[in-house]
Structures are given as structure tokens and as C-alpha cells.
A and B are shown apart, each in its own frame.
Chain A
Amino acid sequence: MDERNLEKALEIVSVLISGEEIGRTAKKNLSLYECYEGSSEVYSLVHKMLKSFNISLYEYKDNLYITAGEKNRVFGYSNEELKKALGIKLNKELYLCYFIIYNIIVKFYRDSAGDTLVEYIKIDEAIHLTDQTLISVIKKLEASPFEETAEESFRALAILWEDLPIMSGEDNSMRAARNSKAGYVKLVFNFLVSQDLFIENNDRYYPRDRMRALMENYFEENQGRLHEYIRMGE
């Protein structure tokens, strides 16, 4: 093994883990991308190292993207860390944010096979989509039994969402906060932007290549395991 190749592979892995992009179109760390692409030893070492960290690497439009997946003890997130990153406190608020993220992304990807022609999404659309997905649960709430609900249930989520006003107060300033539907969606979008999944321009949120790379590859590659997890408990 050439020691220089090992050094390059280590550099690529550390740059990727630190959250930086490597690629041709991203025009960042281009020399590292050329090393990765040009040397079979560097390529193989990078893959081996990432595999040992339980990290998946995807190439999309000449750029490299990584994900730690959903059960990574070292590079994954705990519920507390996620709540802190999103700016929320309770588990049911975290589940609501998951649900809003799901609704936003499904606007672009209904399945991992390919995307729709949708270019961007706005906050009001995200609110509408969440309303629509929850409509059947909200309908049931209209005359539902007066009982305690588990925090992870759809009923708890629907009550939390349904009891929120669209915006707080009558002012039109869109603030990320937990006191309105628009506030929650803004919280979620701020988080998605910080994760390099979306980019904001004039109140419109455009998906970035990182999101496309992961949506089109991760779920298809792991579908066997994911199906098993999804069906567990049915």
C-alpha cells in the first residue's frame, strides 16, 4: 500500500465526515475528488474506511455525499441532540417535525425511483400538505373518545398540529417558533437548510443535490432492511 494514497484517503474521509462537499460540480475540494476518482487504491481505501464507520457513500453528479444512516451510534443523532438542533423540547414535537419533513420531501419524491417536476416548495404549501396528510386523523378527532394518547401516536400529533393557529398574531413576519403551524414549518426548513438538503431563495425552498443523492440511492439500497423495520409491529 502506498502511504501517500492512505493519507489522501484519510483526508477525503475526514473532509466528508466534517460535512464539507467533495466534487467536481460542487467545485469544492476538487483535487481530493480527482484523487478519489483517479486512483483505484484511494477509492478502495475510502470505501473500506467509511464502511468500517457504518457510513454510506453516494456519488451524484460528480459529487460525493455521505450519510450515517439511522442506527449509527457514533455519527448518528440522539433524540435530545435532534431536539436541540431543531429548537424544540418534547418528543411529540420532534415527531411532528419528522412528519413535516416527510410531507415536504414527498412533494418531490413519492418513491425512490425518481423525482417529480416540482422545482421548489413554499411554507404555505408545506402547511397545506401536512394538513392534507393528517386529514383522516383530524376527521376522527371531531368526536373522538376522551382518553390519554401515547406521545408517538398520530392522534397526539394531530391534536398538537390542529391546536396551532396558522400564524401567531396578525403580523406577517414569518418567525421560526413553536406557537404556530408556520412557525413549526419554518423551524423545520431552517434545520433542513442547515443540513444542506434545501437552499432558500425568496421564501422558496429548492432541494439540493445532497437531498437528491440520498433520496435516490439510500432508500433503494437499504429497502430490504427498511421494509422489515416498517412492517415490524403491523
Chain B
Amino acid sequence: MAEQYLISREIVEEHYSRMMHIRKYYPFFKLAEGTLLQFKDGKYADLDMGYITMAVLRFFIEENNFKEKDVTYEELEDFLDEIYRRDFDLNLSYEEEHELSTYIFDKIKNDGKPFSFSFFDPVMHVKRKMRIRLIEGRMDGDTVYYSITTDGLEFYLDTKELQDESTISIEQLLLEKMIRSRNFKGGAEVVRRINNEVKKLQIQKNEVLGILSRNVFEGIKISEQFMKKTVRWFDEEQKLFEKNIELIRMALSKARDDEMAGDYNSQYFKAFEQIFSLDKELKRALNKHRELLEACIDMQKTADDLVAKAKIRSLRTAFDFEKMCGSFMKQDRTDKFESFVLPLLKPNINKSFGVKMIDELLSFKPQKDDVSEKIVEQLTEEYIFDDEIEEGRIQNNFYCFLHCLFDMLLDKDKFTVEEYMDYLKTCYNDSITKSGDLYIFLVHLCQKSNYDLSCIADNKDTFLEGVMAEYLQNYNDKYAAISFSVEVFSDVIIYLDEGMEITSFNIIKKKG
């Protein structure tokens, strides 16, 4: 059971890394399988595309990694032409050769797109898509230069068991071995490779400087890594340089001893020449190495200066465009770049009408069962609210009370409130005394002791006076000359209804 578990675990968990490892082989088999069968009705089907692919990769390694230069299409075409003649005995006209090479190269770089294939990731339970390129292009001015990709290089090196991780120190050890075995010619070759290694480091240093000028903080990290790596090497490399120079010095001294001993022969002269050549190359390498060391120290100084400048700049509240890009990447929103681009544009004064909208208008068909809406003239409605109804009722009741009050004042000079209520009962009915409106009316009436109806329109001190003025104005002005006073007796309480009690009072008509 445990064994079963281990197997399934290995199958699931290791599948992804296995696919990542074998992906570099995919373009080769895709290219090798019948690529040329489809071209010109299989006229060049005898050409082995697998062989041509490997040859092209080797050509790129030679040019890119050893000669340290990128390849133009014309150079590649010359190389392919040589292969057609040498390996396939194919003598083509210029046009045929150009056509075939263009086709082959387009296939190797997959028309500029990466080779892609999908596989199932059993851990994540998703289908993944791999993308691999063998050759990549770079534009310099108007010319496109091609170079082998890391995947391409890895694939090529993986096809044969070799490790090509040459560093200066490894080369130095090899050189030492060669000097000891008196292979000075081979030694000179090794030194040339060391020079190339130093040159590579110079290029790397320039790249680091480039990053530093673009993004100080990113550059500082990379520069620290670079310095850590190279400075650690410098000590070791310098020691090995000295050791090898010492070995050459010893070889030279031995040669001089031979010269003293009169041991001359053609081999001696040859060895002497080779030692000198090696010595020259090694001194050149040593100088270059020192230059690199100085450049690295300069770079450190530049990095420090840039950090100081960046610190000063950071005090100013500037808008950081790189941070903005980082934020958009985090949100995965490329459309947000419009906030960066649109403010840079001129005002848009040419207004356009979207073509899509015209299409929609032309193709718009109203449904058959759609009935057009009739526009009916709207009548304004007046709403009467509850409080307005209440107000109307109170006003009407107050007018009735006032009417009775003023009638009594015309007949009598003095009467009590009880007499007034009796009069109301005869005019209306007995339950009138239980009306809340009467209770309120009497309370309002007692708020003031004197009333003069002749000038009430100008002196409306209380709410009731306001009602009186309105009543006189709207209904009857025969009462306009009346004036009366209210005399309250606080010791006599009149009970009207539950919760409605008033103190008795007299109403006295004033004369004159």
C-alpha cells in the first residue's frame, strides 16, 4: 500500500518538473517531423531537418558564444548554403537557395512565435501551455540580429554529455595543467578563453549599470549580487594568475638554462616562441582583469552616488511612473494605462459617431406587438391632506361658536358661560358641549380679557382674534361694532366631558 502511495506521489508531483525538463526537446522533434515534406510538394524532402536544426544551433553557438556576435539573416543564409552543397550535394540557384533558406529559418524560429504545446498538470489539475524558442531576434537600427536562446543552448548542450560552465578559475586550473605539461600552445588558447570570460563580465557589468540608471533600487540589488560574485572570484583568480605567471617565468628560466647549455634545436625555438606568446596573452588577460576590477570599484561608487541622488529626489513628492506600472501589474489591469496616456493627448475636437451605432440603428426592427404609447393630457389633481380637513372643521365650528356668541352679545349686556352653552345647545344639540372644539374655543377665548371687534382686523394678538377677523370679513360685519370683556371666576369649575374642565367666566358687553 505504502509502495503504491509512493509511486502515485512520484507520478503526480514530479510530472511538472519532468515536463519542464523535456520541453526543450519539443521544437527539435516538431521540426524534424516532415517539415520539408510540405514545402514545394516535397521537392526537398530528402533534406534532414533535424540535422539542419542541430547545425544551425551549433552555428549560432559559435557566433554568439565564442565569437560573441549576433547573426544576421544573410550570414545564416550563407551557412545554410554551405550545408546544402557539402552535406546534401544540392546545387541550387540563388533564388531557390534563398527561398529554401527563408522557409527553413522561418520554421526554426516558428515564424517569430514560440513553439508551444500543452500538458496536464496533475498537482493543480489544470492544463498548462509551454512556450519555447530556439532562436530570438533583436533589432539594432534597421537590422534584425538573431541569437540562440538559453533554451536552445541548453537543448544543444544536453544532446551530448558535456558541461560547458567555464569560469576564469576553472580555465586557470586548466592552464596550469597545460603549462606543467609544457603544452604552451594549448595554454595560449585557454588564456584567450579567459579573456573572453573577462569580456563577458565587462558586458555584465555594463548591463548592471544600465539597470542602475533605470531603477536605482532594483539595480542596487543586482549590483550587490554581481559584486559578491565577482569580488569573491577576484581574489582566487588573482592568485591563480600570479601562480601561472610564476610557472611561465620558471619555464622561461628553464629555456634560458637550456640556451646556456647550448641545447638548441627546432623544438626549443618552437617552445620558446610559444612560451612568449603565452606570457603575452596572460599579461594581457591580467591587465584586462585589473581593468575589470577597477571598473567594478567605479561601479560601486556610481551606485553609491545614484542612491544618494535617489534619496534626495525621494524627498520631493513626485509622481512615480514605475510604481504606477507595478501597481497595474499587481491588479493585472493594462487598461488602466489610459490614465497615463490620455492626459498627454491634444483635445479631441473631431467628434465621431461610432460605426457600430450606425449598424445598430439600421438593423433595429421594432417588434410587431409593440404598441405606441399615447400621450394623454394630464390633469392636475389637488390633494387635500388630513390636517387640512381638520383645520377646515375647526374653522367651521369656531365660526358657529362665534356666531352664537355675537348674537348673544347683541341681545344681552352680560351673560355667563353656562348661559352661552345653553344657547349653543338650543341652536345645535345637547352633545355640543362634549365637542373638543368648543373646549378649545373657550380656552382660546379666556386668553384675553378684552375684545374690540371694530379694530380686530388690525390687532390680531391671538389665534382666536385671527379667526374672528376672518369671520367678520367673510360672513357678517353687523357685529363689527361689538366690544366685550371676559371676567374669569377661578373658584367655579365647569365639567364638559372627560378630561375637559374649565373655570366659569362672564362675558360682559362694553358700552359706547
Contact = CB atoms under 8 A, between A and B. Distances in A.
Contact of B339 (A68, A145, A165, A229): A229
Contacts of A181: 139
Which of B23, B339, B349: most chain A CB closer than 10 A? B339
Contact of B341 (A101, A166, A229): A101
Interface residues of B, number: 68
B129 A146 contact: yes
B348 interface: yes
Interface in A179-234: 180-182, 195-197, 203, 211, 214-215, 218-220, 222-223, 226, 229-231, 233-234
B177 interface: no
Interface stretch (B53-61, B165-173, B313-321, B377-385): B313-321
A119 interface: no
A230 B142 contact: no
A77 B479 CA distance: 80
B349 A17 contact: yes
A45 B15 CA distance: 72
B120 to A, nearest CB: 9
B124 A145 contact: yes
- Contact residues on A (Cβ < 8 Å of other chain), bracket: 35 or more
A145 B131 contact: no
Contacts of A92: 334
Given A167-B144, A226-B319, A106 B347 contact: no
A112 B137 CA distance: 33
Interface in B471-512: none
Given A75-B348, A197-B344, A218-B343, A95 B127 contact: no
B215 interface: yes
Contacts of A211: 344
A220 B318 contact: yes
A17 B348 CA distance: 8
B415 interface: no
B295 interface: no
Contacts of A219: 319, 321, 343
- Secondary structure class of chain A's binding surface, majority of residues: mixed
B126 A145 contact: yes
A133 interface: yes
A123 interface: yes
Given A123-B139, A166-B112, A230-B327, A147 B126 contact: yes
B96 interface: no
Contacts of A197: 344
B112 A165 contact: yes
A111 interface: yes
B334 A203 contact: no
Interface string A87-121: 00001100110110110011001111110100000
Given A101-B344, A106-B322, A141-B131, 16 more contacts: A69-B343, A77-B342, A80-B352, A80-B354, A99-B334, A106-B325, A110-B320, A123-B139, A147-B126, A163-B114, A165-B113, A166-B112, A166-B144, A167-B144, A230-B336, A234-B327
Interface of B: 16, 19-20, 23, 73, 102, 109, 111-114, 118, 121, 124, 126-132, 137-144, 213-215, 313, 316-322, 324-325, 327-349, 352, 354, 356
